[in-house]
Each structure stands twice: as C-alpha cells, then as structure tokens.
Amino acid sequence: MVQKDPNVSKNVVRQALGSRGYRIGNLYSHKLFGKYSGQEVVMPDYLLAYAMVAHRGQLQEADYLKAKSVIQNPDFISEDLRGEENSFLLNKRISENRWLEAGIHDVNGQLMFHFMLRNDKKNQQANSENNKVRGQA
C-alpha cells in the first residue's frame, strides 16, 4: 500500500495496522544492555507507520521480517549515539553493503523499537562518530 502510493500518510497506515503494537522478540543479552538484556522489545503502531512512510521505498517487506534477527543476533551494538539514557543501537548486516539498524529505547519501562536501512559507508560513519562503549556483539 505505502510503496505503491506516495500519498499514503502515517495516519492511514496506522488505521490499516489496527492501532496496535507488535512484539519483535527479546533483546540480545549483553553487559552493555544491563537490566534490559533479554527484555521484550515492541514496535508500536506509530513507529511502524513512521518507518513505512519515512523510509518509503528503502525498506522492503523482507527487511521488516528480519527485525527479530537484528535485536536477537546483532553484528554490532552501541549506546545510542545521541547520548540518550537507556537507549541503544543494534546493527545487523543483511547483505554485502546493507545493514539494518535498530534503535531501542526505554519508554515508561517498555523497550520500543525503530529501525532503518543503512549502506556500508553510512554504517561505518555512524559507528565511528562516538567513543562510547560499543563493539562486536
């Protein structure tokens, strides 16, 4: 629906989704995540609608189906580069030059999920901009 019609808005997508959140899976266990290790991660309808509209044409249906692998088996993890407390970035290589990046943050005790696609160059640049704890998962 969204990729075929560039005029579809976030509100139309949210209505089509039925205004519910989606359970992605449990967060990868790692000392960087502390108390959040193994905690359930959800993607609320408004974030899914945002990703579908804002990243229109970039993310394919197959990319959305890989969301669980990003949070359960990432290739690279870090604290959020914007310095937000209790938020993390996870990256998963999905092809030679493509990465899925998941932003995970705590909203009132629930881990929220948003993700986007990065090419290899952008991924390396983003992961080298900050010296916070990070590394191979």
pLDDT tens-digit series, residues 53-108? 777 777 777 887 888 999 999 998 988 766 778 889 898 988 888 888 888 888 88
If you average pLDDT over residues 100-120, what whole number do you get?
82
Q: What count of Cα atoms within 13 Å lies in the side-chain half-sphere of residue 82?
A: 9
CA distance 29 to 27: 6
C-alpha closest to that of 66 among 38, 43, 90, 94: 94
The confidence score (pLDDT) of residue 134 equals 47
Q: What is the pTM of this model?
A: 0.74
User: Is residue 115's pLDDT more than 90?
Assistant: no
State the pLDDT confidence band at 127, using cuts at 50, 70 and 90: low
E strand residue ranges, 20-136: 22-26, 40-43, 76-79, 87-95, 98-107, 110-119, 134-136
The pLDDT-based confidence of 50 (bands split at 50, 70, 90) is confident
Residue 31 has pLDDT above 80, yes or no: yes
pLDDT at 125: 55
Q: Which of 50, 56, 57, 41 is nearest to 14 (CA)?
A: 50
**Tokens of residue 127, six digits:** 């992961």
> How high is the mean pLDDT of the chain?
78
